Structure formats: structure tokens, C-alpha cells
């Protein structure tokens, strides 16, 4: 295999060195760089963010008409950047080129390089000619995309076992209930049509590995379907969605669905951007609502939103005989979306969920203030765990949240905050500010206080842990431009958890901080170094102790990355990262080294990205996440552990203006183990290979 990889590497490099061009296909490069800059190091679903970035790239905003709210859609801009840009535009009346933005405080060459692909520089337009319905249909853009992917090695859950392979009939019956019924292929279908921003319609369908497809328990084909129809900016109607959507209001203490930026590589972007209702076209089978949502502007500067959702969700049902009142309940929300065997199918869509809510949003000049309400009810009551750490968890079949939020821009300051209540009047609060101290120095600050008994099932507030409850803390971020081409960024976050949590049998506290120093020499060369450390408290693992007490758990990561352009269309990226984990007498470490080769050329229909990585990680607690280039709308951040190598080759072929083909091959080979994973996903062998094939037709 190593010889094959070496030959393939040399062949690709030979091809690359024989092609020249004058322009570059920048779309994938820009969005991949933005995701890389976010410093993603966790297993989260960023597919919605990726889709939104591609949509913004394909439909750039006019910088001479864009509002502050629209600028908030661009993740590379902080609130200080937005304030400075709006003030500059008001002063000069019209911006003609990207080069003018060099005069704005804090707009570095790196920022301008990313921003230029999401905006256009056109004069403010007069009222547009209104096309007839027939003309609008003619000028709609459409796309259909199909993807297939699978792991090539056979996992235990796909084994063909007979009753003779088991000791007794009961064991065989248990196997029949848990074995995977379908093939190991994952299928993905996406259709979308749109006419500018006035009309959008989309459909997404997905079959997970192990699920049946047009047979057996899945005779309707895909296991998951999501779709929407959206109308926007038609008179006083701002947005109307029928189908699947997510509401995003305030700072997320009461209502926030889908992607949510927390502590990331953008240390000043700590506030959530009030985005209203957003169409949903992703494969996550839980983080969305299904029904009707509408936003209107009855009077100038006042937005009113109302929404209703009704759908079935997965859950664990417990027999009614276990409760005194003989009432059937569910004991957990299942969010994996997997329905691969009879056990999982028995928990599919067994709970009815109804949600309704409204939001009012008034803005005047630099002030925005909003009121938020959400009410949710389940067809069966929820009864969670019985341990003392679960004492304040949600229970029953009904919940409700109210909140008031505001933000205010003034000169060099941006303030934001939200206060929320639940059905039992438990409280949650968040307040923060972003401050432009000088032309070279910016600060951000967030304080949050989420009560231990606060319940917000559809919330997603800023914090160290998910759940928007049982947390108090302070966050301070900083960005400084000490010298030309240099940027120093840092944050420090300290927090405490007043009540017990899973694996933590006492009130606990912790902190984490990150320091990044970046040097941007030119478009051809940049380098950065990063240091991260966190300290948390967890239960002791000392087997000789009869008393449960908390002990410090420490993680440290050090990274150095170099990005450089060796030819007009050829880029290299090198990274070395080390991780350290310490808890009591457990002291583990890990290291990852990788080299990327990236080739993109607008005049040549074929582009590549490839990686060769070496890793030696002693324990899961010292794992290292690495973002990978992938096919369109896909997202991959494998957590590397144990010892071995990882290689992938990702290719894109623009066949013509209508058809585009993607393919990815990845292999992870371990040198210190003979099996991979466990349970039904167990692979007998030391390597795992994955392939992805995807095609898109645009018309």
C-alpha cells in the first residue's frame, strides 16, 4: 500500500507540474480556508454552515446596499469590522473596489482576500423591473446532486450468520434483532431550485449505512427526507417557509436551531447573529422543525415572526408497568438518526412533538430589541435518569421559554445580551461586548449565568458545555496587530458548574485558553502557531478511594502550520500537532504530522487535494482532530488516535457547465492493533478504507 501511495503521489505531482494557468478556481479554496480558520476540533455537524457559505459565494451581496444584519452572515467579519465598514460606507457614499477597504481599521490583507468572494461592488440599484411568473420560472437555477459512500471493509453487523453459529435460539434471536438489515452504502440526494432571493425550494434525502433501501422496512426508499418551499422579500412579507426550517433568535437562550458558533478560531465572534427563520436542507434528522414559519414587516423596522411545527421524533419508550400511574413514558431523546436494525426501528418516530412560537424584532439605527416565545409539547411524558445529577433535568410533556434580547452598536462598541425564563421561572442570562480599543487592538467579553434548573430544549447558548444550563462563566478574547503582517489572537474562559453532572459528583469548575500567532507574508506564504490548554474537574479514578472526590483533568495542544504556494495553482500545507492529557497518575500524549497537496486551476477541469498523515496517539483522551477536504457539502474531521497513517485523495472534475463529478478515497492503517472499532462496527483487520462518489447536474 505504501508503494501505491508513493507512486500515486509522484504521478499527481508530475501532472501538476506540467499545467500552467492564469486564474484559479477559488470557491472551494476560500470556503475550506474559512472552515480551517474556525479551528474545528470537535465532532459537530457543520454541514448547514457549509451549505450557507456556498450559497453566499454563489450569490454575493452588494456592498453598497448590504445591511449590518446581512454582513453578520459572513463569519470572517467581527462586529467591530461590521461597524467600521458601515461607518466607512456612510462617509464615502459608494465603495467602488475591494482595494478601498484597505483604508478601514482592522481590514487586513487576509480578511480582504476572503471577503472579496462574498461581495460585489455595484451602485445602489433603483427599483427593479418586475418579471412575470413565466419569466421567473425561465430564469430559475436548478441543481440535482447524488452521493454514494461506504467503508470497504465488512463490519461485524453485516455478517451472514446462521442459527448454527450460536449456542441457543435466544442468542440467535437477539442477533436477528440487532444485526444490520441493509447494505453498508450511504446514499444522499439533494435537489434545489431558486429564483434570486424571492423563491427557493429544496429536497434532501438520505439513507445511512446499514439501513434498508426500497425494501423490507424501508419500502419508501430513503430513511430520511427533508424539504422546504420558501418565499422572500415580496412586499411586507420578508420570509415564508413551508416544510423544514430552523428558528434562530437572540443569543440562543430560548430558541436556536442548527449550526451555532461558540469558541472558535474567530476569537471576537462570540455573539450569535440574529438570523430569523432559515430553510433546512441537511441530513441531521433532529435539529429542525417541520411545519409553517412566516416573518412579516407590518410597519417599518418591525419584524414579526410566527411558526408552528409538528413531527415525530425518536425515543426510548419505557413500559407503563414501571410507573405508579400506569402511564407510558419515554426516557431519552435519540439523536443519531440510525434505523439499521429491528431494535433501532422500534424506537423510530414514536414520540409526537408539537412546537409553536413567535418573535418580535424592532430595530432603529444601531439598536435592535426583540421578544421571543416558544412552547413545546410531547405526546408522552419524559422521565429521565434517577441519579442525583439528573435532579434538575427536564421532565413531563410540556415546556416553554420566554426571552428578551437586545444589541446596540455605538462608535467602537457593540453590546449584546439576552435574558430568558422557562415554564418554572428558572433563569438564564448572557451579556457581552466587543470593543475596538485602537486600530490594532480589539477585545470581546461574554458573561453567562445559566441556572442549574433552567430548561431550554431548543436553546443553544454560548458556553463550555452544551445544554444552556448549570453554567456560569466569563470569556475574554483579544485580537492584536502588533506589526505589519502579524496577528496575535487569544482568549481565556473560566467557568463553574453549580450542580452535579454526569461523571462529576460535586459542583465543579474549570478554565481553558488559546493563543495563536499568525504571520501572513503574502498570498504565497503564511504560518501560524497555536497553544491550547484546558483544566476541568472530574471524579477520581482511584480504585482504592471509598470517597468520591474531584480531581483535575488537563489537556494541552500545541500546533504549528505552514501554508505555501509553490506554483500558481499548486499549494502545500504542513502541520505538526502534539497533545497532552493528564489526570492523576494517567499521563498520555499524542502527535500528528501531515502534508497536504492542493491543486486548483480554473482553466483546467480537474482539481485535487491529498494528504499523508502520521499519527501516534496513546489514548482517546489525547485524540487530535484534523479537518479534511471533502466532496461538496460533506464534512470530515476524523479524531486520530492509536498509531498509524492516514491518507486521502479528493478530486473534482468539472465535466462541462452542467455536470461536476467528485470522488474521495481515504484509508487509515494502524500499526498497533488488529481490529478496529467494537460491537456491530467491529472490523477484523488493521485498516479501514472509505470511498465517496458524487455527481451534480446544474440546469
Q: For residue range 265-321, what is the model confidence (pLDDT) as tens digits?
A: 888 989 998 789 999 988 888 889 999 999 999 999 999 999 999 999 999 998 766
Cell numbers 451534480: residue: 696
- Among 623, 696, 560, smallest CA distance to 145 is for 696
Query: How far apart, in whole angstroms, are the C-alpha atoms of residue 411 and residue 406?
Result: 17
Does 56-130 carry CATH code 1.10.150?
Answer: yes
Query: How far apart, in whole angstroms, are the C-alpha atoms of residue 563 and residue 515?
Result: 19
What local confidence, expressed as pLDDT, does residue 17 receive? 38
More confident: 43 or 342: 342
In the chain, where the domains are located: 1-22+481-699, 56-130
- Concatenated DSSP letters of 222-268: -SEEEEEEEEEEETTEEEEEEEEEEEE-TTSSS-B-S----S-S-TT
- Among 206, 210, 208, smallest CA distance to 156 is for 210
What local confidence, expressed as pLDDT, does residue 259 receive? 75
**At residue 184, does pLDDT exceed 80?**
yes
Question: Could you tell me if 570 and 16 are in contact, meaning their C-beta atoms sit under 8 angstroms apart?
Answer: yes
Among 112-121, 122-131, 487-496, where is mean pLDDT lowest? 122-131
Question: 3-class SS at 215?
Answer: strand
Mean pLDDT value across residues 126-147: 78
What local confidence, expressed as pLDDT, does residue 133 receive? 63
Report residue 94: phi and psi, to 5°: -145, 135
Write out pLDDT tens, residues 323-337: 666 678 999 999 899
**At residue 23, does pLDDT exceed 60?**
no
| Residue 16 confidence class, pLDDT cut points 50, 70, 90 | very low
Question: Could you tell me if 306 and 282 are in contact, meaning their C-beta atoms sit under 8 angstroms apart?
Answer: no
More confident: 73 or 15: 73
Mean pLDDT value across residues 375-390: 91
Share of the chain above pLDDT 70, in %: 92
| Residue 44 confidence class, pLDDT cut points 50, 70, 90 | low
List beta partners, residue 478: 443, 490
What local confidence, expressed as pLDDT, does residue 286 receive? 83
Write out pLDDT tens, residues 644-669: 999 999 999 999 999 999 999 999 99
What local confidence, expressed as pLDDT, does residue 14 receive? 38
The Cβ-side half-sphere exposure at 465, using a 13 Å CA radius, reads 19
| Residue 167 confidence class, pLDDT cut points 50, 70, 90 | confident
What local confidence, expressed as pLDDT, does residue 87 receive? 87
What local confidence, expressed as pLDDT, does residue 320 receive? 65
**At residue 30, does pLDDT exceed 80?**
no
**At residue 150, does pLDDT exceed 50?**
yes
**At residue 11, does pLDDT exceed 50?**
no
Question: 3-class SS at 470?
Answer: coil
More confident: 683 or 568: 683
Write out pLDDT tens, residues 600-639: 887 889 999 999 999 999 999 999 999 999 999 998 889 9
Among 92-101, 152-161, 493-502, where is mean pLDDT lowest? 92-101
The DSSP bridge pattern shows strands 570-583 and 624-625 to be unpaired
Grid cell listed for 191: 435537489
| Average pLDDT of the residues of the chain | 89
Alpha helices by DSSP H, 64-132: 68-71, 79-92, 109-115
Write out pLDDT tens, residues 226-280: 999 999 988 899 999 999 999 999 999 999 987 777 788 888 989 998 789 999 9
**At residue 18, does pLDDT exceed 70?**
no
Amino acid at each position: 500500500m505504501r508503494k501505491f501511495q508513493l507512486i500515486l503521489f509522484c504521478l499527481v505531482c508530475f501532472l501538476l507540474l506540467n499545467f500552467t494557468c492564469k486564474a484559479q478556481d477559488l470557491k472551494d479554496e476560500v470556503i475550506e480556508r474559512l472552515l480551517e480558520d474556525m479551528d474545528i476540533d470537535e465532532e459537530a455537524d457543520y454541514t448547514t454552515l457549509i451549505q450557507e457559505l456556498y450559497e453566499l459565494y454563489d450569490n454575493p451581496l452588494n456592498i453598497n446596499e448590504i445591511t449590518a444584519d446581512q454582513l453578520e452572515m459572513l463569519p470572517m467579519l467581527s462586529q467591530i469590522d461590521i461597524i467600521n465598514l458601515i461607518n466607512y460606507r456612510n462617509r464615502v457614499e459608494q465603495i467602488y473596489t475591494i482595494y478601498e477597504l484597505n483604508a478601514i481599521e482592522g481590514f487586513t490583507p487576509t480578511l480582504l482576500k476572503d471577503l472579496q468572494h462574498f461581495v460585489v461592488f455595484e451602485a445602489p440599484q433603483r427599483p427593479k423591473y418586475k418579471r412575470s411568473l413565466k419569466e421567473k420560472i425561465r430564469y430559475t437555477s436548478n441543481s440535482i446532486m447524488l452521493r454514494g459512500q461506504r467503508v470497504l471493509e465488512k463490519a461485524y453487523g453485516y455478517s451472514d450468520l446462521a442459527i448454527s453459529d450460536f449456542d441457543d435460539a435466544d442468542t440467535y434471536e437477539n442477533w436477528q434483532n440487532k444485526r444490520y438489515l441493509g447494505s453498508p452504502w450511504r446514499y444522499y440526494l439533494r435537489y434545489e431550485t431558486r429564483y434570486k432571493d424571492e423563491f427557493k425550494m429544496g429536497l434532501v434525502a438520505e439513507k445511512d449505512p446499514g439501513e434498508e433501501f426500497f425494501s423490507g422496512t424501508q419500502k419508501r426508499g430513503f430513511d430520511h427526507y427533508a424539504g422546504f418551499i420558501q418565499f422572500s422579500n415580496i412586499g411586507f412579507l420578508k420570509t415564508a417557509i413551508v416544510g423544514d426550517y430552523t428558528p434562530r433568535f437572540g443569543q440562543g437562550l430560548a430558541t436556536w436551531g442548527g449550526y451555532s458558533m461558540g469558541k472558535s478560531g474567530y476569537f471576537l465572534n462570540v455573539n450569535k447573529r440574529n438570523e430569523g427563520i432559515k430553510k433546512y436542507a441537511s441530513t441531521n434528522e433532529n435539529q429542525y422543525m417541520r411545519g409553517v414559519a412566516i416573518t412579516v414587516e407590518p410597519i417599518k423596522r418591525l419584524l414579526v415572526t410566527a411558526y408552528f411545527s409538528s413531527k415525530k421524533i425518536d425515543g426510548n419508550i419505557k413500559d407503563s408497568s414501571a410507573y405508579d400511574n400506569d402511564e407510558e413514558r419515554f426516557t431519552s431523546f435519540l439523536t443519531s438518526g440510525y434505523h439499521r436494525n429491528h431494535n433501532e426501528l422500534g424506537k423510530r418516530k414514536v414520540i409526537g412533538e408539537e412546537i409553536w412560537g413567535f418573535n418580535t424584532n424592532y430595530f432603529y439605527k444601531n439598536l435592535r430589541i426583540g421578544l421571543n416565545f416558544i412552547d413545546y409539547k410531547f405526546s408522552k411524558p419524559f422521565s429521565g435518569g434517577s441519579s442525583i445529577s439528573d435532579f434538575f433535568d427536564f421532565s413531563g410533556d410540556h415546556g416553554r421559554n420566554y426571552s428578551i434580547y437586545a444589541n446596540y452598536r455605538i462608535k467602537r462598541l457593540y453590546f449584546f445580551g439576552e435574558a430568558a425564563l422557562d415554564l418554572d421561572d428558572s433563569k438564564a442570562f448572557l451579556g457581552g461586548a466587543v470593543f475596538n480599543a485602537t486600530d490594532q487592538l480589539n477585545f470581546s467579553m461574554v458573561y453567562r449565568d445559566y441556572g442549574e434548573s433552567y430548561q431550554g430544549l431548543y436553546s443553544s447558548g454560548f458556553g463550555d458545555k452544551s445544554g444552556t444550563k448549570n453554567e456560569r462563566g466569563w470569556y475574554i478574547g483579544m485580537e492584536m496587530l502588533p506589526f505589519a503582517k502579524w496577528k496575535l489572537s487569544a482568549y481565556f474562559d473560566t467557568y463553574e458548574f453549580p450542580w452535579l453532572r454526569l461523571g462529576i459528583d460535586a459542583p465543579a469548575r474549570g478554565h481553558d485558553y488559546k493563543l495563536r500567532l499568525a504571520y501572513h507574508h503574502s498570498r504565497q506564504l503564511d504560518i501560524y502557531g497555536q497553544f491550547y490548554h484546558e483544566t476541568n474537574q472530574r471524579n477520581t479514578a482511584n480504585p482504592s478511594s471509598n470517597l468520591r472526590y474531584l480531581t483535575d483533568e488537563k489537556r494541552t495542544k500545541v500546533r504549528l502550520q505552514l501554508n505555501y504556494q509553490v506554483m500558481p495553482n499548486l499549494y502545500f500545507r504542513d502541520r505538526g500537532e502534539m497533545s497532552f492529557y493528564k489526570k492523576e497518575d494517567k499521563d498520555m500524549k499524542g502527535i500528528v504530522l501531515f502534508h497536504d497537496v492542493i491543486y486548483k486551476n480554473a482553466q483546467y477541469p480537474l482539481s485535487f487535494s491529498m494528504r499523508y498523515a502520521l499519527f501516534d496517539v496513546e489514548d482517546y483522551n489525547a485524540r487530535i482532530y484534523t479537518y479534511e477536504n471533502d466532496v461538496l457539502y460533506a464534512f470530515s474531521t476524523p479524531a486520530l488516535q492509536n498509531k498509524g497513517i492516514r491518507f486521502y485523495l479528493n478530486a473534482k472534475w468539472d465535466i462541462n457547465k452542467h455536470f461536476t463529478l467528485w470522488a474521495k478515497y481515504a484509508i487509515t492503517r494502524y500499526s498497533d492493533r488488529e481490529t478496529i472499532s467494537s460491537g456491530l462496527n467491529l472490523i477484523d483487520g488493521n485498516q479501514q478504507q472509505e470511498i465517496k462518489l458524487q455527481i451534480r447536474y446544474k440546469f
